Amino acid sequence: MKLNNLALSTLAKTVVLGVAVLLASSAFAGNKGTLQVRERVEVNGQQLSPGEYQLRWDGTGADVEVRFMQGKKEVAKTSAKVVSLDQASDYDSAVIDHASGKAAVSQVRFAGKKFALAIGATDKAEATGSKASN
Q: What is the pLDDT of residue 109?
A: 96
The DSSP call for residue 88 is -
How many Cα atoms are found within 13 Å in the side-chain-facing hemisphere of 67?
12
Q: How many residues does this entry show for the chain?
A: 134
Residue-wise pLDDT for 55-66, tens only, equals 999 998 899 999
Q: What is the pLDDT of residue 30?
A: 56
**Confidence band of 119 (pLDDT split at 50, 70, 90):** very high
Residues 95/107, Cβ–Cβ less than 8 Å: yes
Q: What amino acid occupies position 77?
A: K
Q: What is the pLDDT of residue 19?
A: 38
Domain ranges of the chain: 1-29, 31-133
Alpha-carbon Rg for the chain, nearest whole angstrom, is 20
Average pLDDT over the chain reads: 78
Q: What is the pLDDT of residue 126?
A: 37
Longest dimension (CA), the chain: 77
Residue-wise pLDDT for 80-109, tens only, equals 999 999 999 999 999 999 988 899 999 999
Residue-wise pLDDT for 6-46, tens only, equals 554 554 444 443 433 333 333 444 599 999 999 999 999 99
The answer to whether residue 79 scores a pLDDT higher than 80 is yes
Q: What is the pLDDT of residue 4?
A: 56
